[in-house]
Structure 1
């Protein structure tokens, strides 16, 4: 198939390009930076520089590509991150999930695409019911004030994409990424790995939040499955072992050769990192990815983060 991939130069975008090209697909991949076009060519994609917030340029780029499938992997989450830059990156990502989504959907419709696949995430599933939720669960309706815009942007993306009537609209709620290119890998000097090594990524309170994780290559293979044979709706994408923060974070520290993470009380973490960070550490829900395994035959290379932290971090 011919596929238009928005966000092709990011961590998961690059993996998706590689896997699609290996399977014989033709990929047109976007980037915001001319410096990244050579890498996209090396991966086998036709690069195009596009500002996803400029609707005319998006519509023109998609029209020239004439894709059967449009894939939305746009975020602004990259590079060194402190509290200030994290807020800026989240705000920019929120715009991409709202205005960028609207622009890509309009462009896909005008170009006659028959499938639209978009990135969401699972960290803000509703804080209700059991610790593990499936695709019937909704996003948290009452998030902390400092997460309201983020959750609203995710809700907008999911509503628009699953509401598509002229093509197959598919949303992928990914678990938290790790592995090469994500900032969480054995060879990474990126902020997340550095924070863990420097014991600046603590367990908050008792670490009772349940997170689902997924190796970046497995997230990409699930995306390829959705591109090739997905049905309209939502799929959860994660390994088979949702885990308490108090379980997986010490294992990750060991995999990175770091000392065990510190523990800090919730009130102190809230003062430093905000209520949203505390909520994710204490109240997050894990996800079941049984649907995509059953319906699309997806099988991750790393079925557990335990194996992935040991063998998949390089």
Structure 2
């Protein structure tokens, strides 16, 4: 098939492009930076520079590519790991998940795309009904005030994409990525590795929030399976070992050769950083990916982060 990846130079985009090309697909991939076009060509991808927030730029690129499938992997989640930049990245990502999604859907409909696959994530599953959620679970309807825009943006992606009638619309709720290119990796300058070595990524409060993680190569292979075999709706994409932060974070620190994470009281983090990080650290729910394995034939290289942190950080 001819596949258009919006966000091909991002963390999952490059892994996804590599796997699709290896399977014989023709891939057109977008980037915001001319400096990244060479790297895309080296992967076997036809690069195109696109401003995803400009509807004319998106429409022109999609019209020229004439793809059968569009894969929406646009985020702005990269750059320095400080609070000011984190807020800017979150705001930019929210726009890509709202305006960017709408621009891509309009362009897809105009050229007769038959499948549209989009990135969502599972960090804000509704905080009820046990530690692990299935696909029929909802995105949290009452998030903390400082997470409302981000959660609304996720809800927009899922509703807009799975609600189309002119193509198969699929939303993938990914767990937390780790592995090469994600920031949670062995590279000493990786964003999360730097934070963990500096002991700036603490366990907050009880640390009881349950996170589902997924190696970036496994996330990409699930996306390939969704492109090739998926049906309209939502699929969860994570490993088989959802675990509380207080369990996986010290394990990750050891794998990176760092000291154990500090523990901060919830009230202090709430005062310094807001309610959202406290919620994620203490109330998050994991996800089950049994539907993806059953319906897509997806298999995991790293069924647990316990193995992935040892063998798959790069």
TM surpasses 0.5: yes
User: Counterpart in 1 of 2:152?
Assistant: 152
User: Counterpart in 2 of 1:25?
Assistant: 25
User: Counterpart in 1 of 2:241?
Assistant: 241
User: Counterpart in 1 of 2:198?
Assistant: 198
User: Counterpart in 2 of 1:229?
Assistant: 229
- Deviation per CA, 1:120-167, whole angstroms, max 9, x where unpaired? 000000001110000000000010010000000111111000101000
User: Counterpart in 2 of 1:171?
Assistant: 171
2:264 matches 1:271: no
User: Counterpart in 1 of 2:64?
Assistant: 64
User: Counterpart in 1 of 2:189?
Assistant: 189
Instruction: Return the alpha-carbon distance in structure 2 between the equivalents of residues 300 and 36 of structure 1.
Output: 29
Instruction: Return the alpha-carbon distance in structure 2 between the equivalents of residues 22 and 191 of structure 1.
Output: 29
Secondary structure of 1:118's counterpart equals strand
User: Counterpart in 2 of 1:306?
Assistant: 306
Shift of 1:294: 0.4
Secondary structure of 2:300's counterpart equals coil
Instruction: Return the alpha-carbon distance in structure 1 between the equivalents of residues 29 and 187 of structure 2.
Output: 26
Q: Is the 8 A contact 2:79 2:85 kept in 1?
A: no
Q: What TM-score results when the alignment is normalised by the length of structure 1?
A: 0.99
- Deviation per CA, 1:141-199, whole angstroms, max 9, x where unpaired? 01001000000011111100010100000000000000000011112412211110111
Shift of 1:272: 1.8
Pairs aligned (count): 314
Identify unmatched segments of 5+ residues in structure 1.
none
Shift of 1:79: 1.4
Q: What TM-score results when the alignment is normalised by the length of structure 2?
A: 0.99
Q: Is the 8 A contact 1:31 1:49 kept in 2?
A: yes
User: Counterpart in 2 of 1:80?
Assistant: 80
| CA RMSD across the alignment | 0.6
- Deviation per CA, 1:215-238, whole angstroms, max 9, x where unpaired? 000000000000111000000000
Instruction: Return the alpha-carbon distance in structure 1 between the equivalents of residues 113 and 178 of structure 2.
Output: 31
Identify unmatched segments of 5+ residues in structure 2.
none
Instruction: Return the alpha-carbon distance in structure 2 between the equivalents of residues 188 and 282 of structure 1.
Output: 28
2:251 matches 1:251: yes
4+ aligned runs moved over 2 Å, structure 1: none
Shift of 1:26: 0.2
- When structure 1 is superposed on structure 2, of 180-189 and 84-93 the one drifting more is 180-189
User: Counterpart in 2 of 1:40?
Assistant: 40
